[in-house]
Structure 1
Amino acid sequence: MLSQQQLATMLSLQNKMNTKVNDQWLTAGYGYLRAAMVESVEAIEHHGWKWWKAHQKDLPQLQMELVDIWHFALSACIIDYAGDIEAAANAISAQLAQSQPRVQFDGKDYTPDSQSLLDNLELMTGLCAAKRFSVPLFMHIAEQCEMSGEALYRQYVGKNVLNFFRQDHGYKEGSYIKVWHNREDNEHLVEVLATLDINSTHYSDDLYQALKHRYPN
């Protein structure tokens, strides 16, 4: 389960990233749930769905797709509450407090607990196509992908902060150095995340500073 502090941190980071891309993003009309729908379809591909051929579920790729979907879902939620981060965090927290998640779609009730991962991914895809998103459904899918709320938080913040770090250090201009001390920045990120207190109120700032300390001058 995600805490109120974790939700507020992620929503704030998402707002900050979107603003960096376009300071008018709230009213730009971007299709965030369309993007989440596409990522959901890609997750289905990583799961495997073709009954006429052998396949193996790619769990790491599924988890990466979920982190991407979460970026878009948070963006859509911030828009729903006109940029009010606290209200968005409260709304998500209220959804997570549901005792048993139920989803109504196309006049039918669905219980994610009783469905397979593949069926839940398909349901999430349909909801996104209809411009809707169910946080309880998403979190149940994350559990089915062996991803806890803590893991989602860590991976989300890690990817978001690394994107900021790259932009601040010349990624767009082509001067960013991706390989430090014979290792890619993603590898440094994983190491740094393992050393930080996930419950810190300055978690994202601590991460940024740790990356900065390692980055070659």
Structure 2
Amino acid sequence: MLSAQQLATMLNLQDKMNKKVNPDWLNAGYGYLRAAMVESVEAIEHHGWKWWKAQQKDLPQLQMELVDIWHFALSACIIDYKGDVDASAQSIAAELASGNTTVSFDGKDYDASMQSLLDNLELMTGLCAAKRFSVPLFMFIVTQCDMSADELYRQYVGKNVLNFFRQDNGYKEGSYIKMWNGREDNEHLVEVMDALDLSKPEFSDLVYDGLKARYPQA
């Protein structure tokens, strides 16, 4: 289960990133759950659903889609609580603590723990289309995709911090260098995170500092 510290870190990072895109993002009317719905459909594609042809589940891509969905879900939650990050964290923590994997949708109850990954992805897509999101359902899907809560946190923070780092180093202006010493920044990110203690409250800052130390200086 995600810890209170992990939830606080992720929600604060999401709020900062959204403010970087638009300082008034809370009132902009962006369709965050619509975006989560589209990502959910993409996750279904990576799972494979076509019965008339041979398909293989692409687990790494599935996990990446879940990390993207989580970005949008956190944004939607912050909006629900009018920008109150602490209240958002408490709400998510309460949902997780309930351990309730049953979702009511369109007059019917669905227990995620009794459904296949594909059916749960479809259920999550439907909920997002109806402007709803179930954290317990999402976290059960994370488990079905062979991810732990810590790994979700790790991948989320990594992607978020890398996005910040790119913006701070000229990504928007086109001056950012993506290849460092013959390798992409994503590869450096993995190495930086692997060398750090995930449990430290300042984990995201340490990731940023690690990238900064490696980035080629002009």
Bucket of the pairwise TM-score, normalised by the shorter protein: over 0.9
After TM superposition, what 4+ stretches of structure 1 lie above 3 angstroms from structure 2?
none
When the two structures are superposed, what TM-score results if normalisation uses the length of structure 2? 0.99
Matched position secondary structure for 1:104: strand
C-alpha distance in structure 1 between counterparts of 2:2 and 2:8, whole Å: 10
Q: Within the alignment, does 1:2 sit opposite 2:2 as a pair?
A: yes
Question: What letter matches 1:108 in structure 2?
Answer: K
Tell me how far 1:185 sits from its aligned partner: 0.2
Q: Within the alignment, does 1:127 sit opposite 2:127 as a pair?
A: yes
Q: State the identity as a percent.
A: 76
Tell me how far 1:98 sits from its aligned partner: 1.6
Q: Which residue of 2 aligns with 1:207?
A: 207
C-alpha distance in structure 2 between counterparts of 1:112 and 1:101, whole Å: 5
Q: Which residue of 2 aligns with 1:79?
A: 79
The total of aligned residue pairs comes to: 217
Q: Which residue of 2 aligns with 1:177?
A: 177
Tell me how far 1:101 sits from its aligned partner: 1.3
C-alpha contact 2:99 2:136 (8 A) present in aligned 1: no
Q: Which residue of 1 aligns with 2:66?
A: 66
Q: Which residue of 1 aligns with 2:107?
A: 107
Matched position secondary structure for 1:97: helix
- Residues 24-54 of structure 1 show CA distances to partners (whole Å, capped at 9, x for unaligned) of 0001000000000000000000000011111
- Residues 103-154 of structure 1 show CA distances to partners (whole Å, capped at 9, x for unaligned) of 0000101100000000000000000000000000000000000011000000
Q: Within the alignment, does 1:188 sit opposite 2:188 as a pair?
A: yes
C-alpha distance in structure 2 between counterparts of 1:145 and 1:204, whole Å: 24
C-alpha contact 2:7 2:89 (8 A) present in aligned 1: yes
Q: Which residue of 2 aligns with 1:94?
A: 94
Q: Within the alignment, does 1:198 sit opposite 2:198 as a pair?
A: yes
Q: Which residue of 1 aligns with 2:26?
A: 26
Tell me how far 1:18 sits from its aligned partner: 0.2
Matched position secondary structure for 2:98: coil
Question: What letter matches 1:109 in structure 2?
Answer: D
Question: What letter matches 1:158 in structure 2?
Answer: G
Tell me how far 1:99 sits from its aligned partner: 2.8
Matched position secondary structure for 1:109: strand
When the two structures are superposed, what TM-score results if normalisation uses the length of structure 1? 0.99
C-alpha distance in structure 1 between counterparts of 2:21 and 2:193, whole Å: 25
Tell me how far 1:100 sits from its aligned partner: 3.4
Across the aligned residues of Structure 1 and Structure 2, the Cα RMSD in angstroms comes to: 0.5
C-alpha distance in structure 2 between counterparts of 1:146 and 1:69, whole Å: 16
C-alpha distance in structure 2 between counterparts of 1:78 and 1:100, whole Å: 22
What runs of 5+ residues in structure 1 fail to find an aligned partner? Answer: none
Question: What letter matches 2:167 in structure 1?
Answer: Q
C-alpha distance in structure 2 between counterparts of 1:99 and 1:16, whole Å: 29
